[in-house]
């Protein structure tokens, strides 16, 4: 869409959130509210995105990529004033779409319809509207037939006007040249001393310009988030949208009420999500994998056919046809090749585990390279930290570690070697070798006292 730009208003303080975090930076489905709006704009191929910032400018600006232009509103003097700051940056732009950074539920198809109507009618302005059963507190859209007349705020509306259910969402398309001239004719004639963007509609109407509206069928798109309660309500809407989308794409979700999927997650058909599954960040799950119950994965990759139960994973890669859990903890840097088993109460950190290897239970593996077809017995620990530095453990293919083996890094276990149960291994073990390190067992006779004495 050449010669278009988006202007997103995000300068407000968000007092009702009662937070040190700027309002538009509060997350919804794993992404800041503002990022939802930016992603929506980019999905309809609007080439330029400008964000008007004021309160919390530094915090917000630090999260924006190079594609986003920042316009500074030093004093928050209303929506009209915010657009006045953006207009000088609209070089070679014929039309703009104005959105609010605290309305993250807006959808691409709605923007496409709004833009289509704006272009088809060669309008000076096109408003996105919605119909609420109870529009209390919202600006009403007044019309004569299907012709737009004006926007009236709740406090200024007559009893008859308050019966109108069509409301102004705060999303608009404008012809830039006409908007630039109209902004010269609005004044801060209100108790707050603010410039209202909606005042330009009266200017357009007086000049006989074309003003159109498009009413969205989804009232959730009009929800502005100003409090924690409203954020929670919007989170529920976003979650239901995401769940519905993935079920339509062939994912089985056993209990949608207890399943949470963030916006950046990617799932393939025939994935099964058991109850109390939480998928966050950029997690990707391949076909036929079964996740859950009671599993949280953040920025993880799960291969086809793997089963992950009662597990917490963060920045981990799980190969195909692996069995993970219950009660496994996969920390950043964990890479599991195909057909790996990680059982109960196993923690892995910054380690590569080769194909077909097994760590069935009660182990810690950190900063390690484990080969193929390795068996790590219960209670085995890699002792990788001396209080200052981390050291690497290498376990070659087909090694067998007996239960309760301590591997004092840096150390290497050769291919096909075996460690005896209870051994503390601090020296490299050659290939095909049995390594045992135990103290001599002693018996002290008659040591047990007679408890009755």
Residue 329, annotated ligand binder? no
Q: What are 132's two structure tokens?
A: 């609420």
Is a pLDDT exceeding 60 seen at residue 220? yes
For the chain, what is the radius of gyration of the CA atoms? Answer: 31
What percent of the chain is modeled with pLDDT above 90? 90
Residue 19, annotated ligand binder? no
Residue 331, annotated ligand binder? yes
Is a pLDDT exceeding 90 seen at residue 453? no
The model's pLDDT over 347-359, given as tens digits with 9 standing for 90+, comes to 999 999 999 999 9
The arithmetic mean of pLDDT across residues 203-209, rounded, is 94
Is a pLDDT exceeding 60 seen at residue 452? no
Long-range pairs, 304-310, Cβ under 8 A, ≥24: 304/268, 309/274
Residue 178, annotated ligand binder? no
Task: Indicate the SS3 state at residue 200.
Answer: helix
pLDDT category at 450 given cuts 50, 70, 90 is: low
Model-level pTM? 0.92
Residue 226, annotated ligand binder? yes
Residues involved in catalysis: 361
Residue 153, annotated ligand binder? yes
Nearest to 371, CA basis, from 417, 405, 333 = 417
Task: Indicate the SS3 state at residue 340.
Answer: coil
The arithmetic mean of pLDDT across residues 239-245, rounded, is 98
Residue 102, annotated ligand binder? yes
Domains and CATH numbers, the chain: 4-222 (3.90.550.10), 243-435 (2.160.10.10)
DSSP secondary structure letters along 137-153: TS-EEEEETTEEEEEE-
The model's pLDDT over 89-142, given as tens digits with 9 standing for 90+, comes to 998 999 999 999 999 999 999 999 999 999 999 999 999 999 999 998 899 999
């Amino acid at each position: 869409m050449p010669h278009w730009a988006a202007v997103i208003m995000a300068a407000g303080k968000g007092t009702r959130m009662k937070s040190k975090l700027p309002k538009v930076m509060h997350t919804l489905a794993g992404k800041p509210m503002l990022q939802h709006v930016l992603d929506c704009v980019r999905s309809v191929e609007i080439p330029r995105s400008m964000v008007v910032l004021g309160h919390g400018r530094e915090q917000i600006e630090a999260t924006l990529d190079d594609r986003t232009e920042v316009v500074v509103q030093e004093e928050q003097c209303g929506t009209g004033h915010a657009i006045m700051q953006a207009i000088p940056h609209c070089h070679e732009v014929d039309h703009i779409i104005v959105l609010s950074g605290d309305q993250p539920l807006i959808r691409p198809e709605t923007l496409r319809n709004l833009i289509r109507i704006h272009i088809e009618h060669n309008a000076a302005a096109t408003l996105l509207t919605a119909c609420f059963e109870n529009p209390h507190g919202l600006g009403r859209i007044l019309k004569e037939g299907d012709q737009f007349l004006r926007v009236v705020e709740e406090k200024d509306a007559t009893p008859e006007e308050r019966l109108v259910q069509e409301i102004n969402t705060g999303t608009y398309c404008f012809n830039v040249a006409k908007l630039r001239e109209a902004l010269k004719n609005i004044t801060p004639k209100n108790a707050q001393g603010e410039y209202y963007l909606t005042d330009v509609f009266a200017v357009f109407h007086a000049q006989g310009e074309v003003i159109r509206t498009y009413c969205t069928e989804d009232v959730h798109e009009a929800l502005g988030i100003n409090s924690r309660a409203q954020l929670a309500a919007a989170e529920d809407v976003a979650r239901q949208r995401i769940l519905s989308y993935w079920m339509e794409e062939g994912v089985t979700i056993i209990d949608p009420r207890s399943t949470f999927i963030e916006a950046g997650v990617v799932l393939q058909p025939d994935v099964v999500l058991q109850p109390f599954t939480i998928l966050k960040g950029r997690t990707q799950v391949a076909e036929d994998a079964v996740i859950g119950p009671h599993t949280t994965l953040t920025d993880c990759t799960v291969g086809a056919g793997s089963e992950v139960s009662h597990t917490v994973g963060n920045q981990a890669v799980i190969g195909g046809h692996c069995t993970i859990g219950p009660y496994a903890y996969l920390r950043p840097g964990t890479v599991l090749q195909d057909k790996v088993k990680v059982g109960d109460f196993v923690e892995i950190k910054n380690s590569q585990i080769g194909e077909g290897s097994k760590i069935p239970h009660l182990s810690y593996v950190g900063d390690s390279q484990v080969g193929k077809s390795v068996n790590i017995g219960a209670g085995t620990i890699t002792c990788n930290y001396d209080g200052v530095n981390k050291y690497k453990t290498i376990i070659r293919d087909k090694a067998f570690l007996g239960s309760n083996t301590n591997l004092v890094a840096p150390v290497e276990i050769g291919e096909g070697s075996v460690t005896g149960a209870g051994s503390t291994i601090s020296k490299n073990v050659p290939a095909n070798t049995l390594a045992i390190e135990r103290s001599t067992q002693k018996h002290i006779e008659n040591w047990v006292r007679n408890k009755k004495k």
